[in-house]
Amino acid sequence: MPSPGDFFSRVFFWNYERGSWQYDLAVIGILIFVLLTPARWFHDQPIRAVPSASAQVELLSESGNRFTYKVDARILTPPEQMPQLQNELHRALQRTQSTLQNGRFEITNVEPLRDEQGAVAAYAVTLRRK
């Protein structure tokens, strides 16, 4: 009769031959673990929370009728083309800034602001009021 340490050593290093009852028992144990483990234990995706309304858009600079805003990229859909991005930015600025709710402004420049990994975290948006 093998000692418990010898048994666990053989199971851990998978030393049993296929078709033996010990091998079948180890496979059943693995299947039980895989099939009955709660799914919530494996949710390790990054959290992509939408920032609060006040943190979505902030004024960076102002000179005359030109304003530069920082717009958080998480409130925008991933842009395919520049006109779509400008439309999304226009709507985001209009929704979050009370001074821009009339919609009478023109976006003159959009510059991505990147995080440490190189992903776009926000956009610096320069606009001109009409």
Encode pLDDT of 31-82 as tens digits. Answer: 999 899 887 777 666 655 555 555 577 788 888 888 888 877 766 655 455 6
Q: Which of 15-19, 74-78, 125-129 has the lowest mean pLDDT?
A: 74-78
Beta-bridge partners for 30: none
Q: What DSSP line would sit under the chain, residue for residue?
A: ---HHHHHHHHHTT-SPTTSHHHHHHHHHHHHHHHHS-GGGG--PPP-PPPPHHHHEEEEEEETTEEEEEEEGGGSPPPSSHHHHHHHHHHHHHHH-GGGTT--EEEEEEEEEE-TTS-EEEEEEEEEE-
- One-letter amino acid identity for 113? L
Question: What does the pLDDT read at residue 122?
Answer: 81
The answer to whether the CB of 70 falls within 8 A of the CB of 57 is yes
| pLDDT tier for residue 20 given thresholds of 50, 70 and 90 | confident
Q: Is the model's pLDDT at 90 over the cut of 80?
A: no
Is the confidence at residue 84, as pLDDT, over 80? no
Q: How much is the pLDDT for 59?
A: 81
pTM, entire model: 0.45
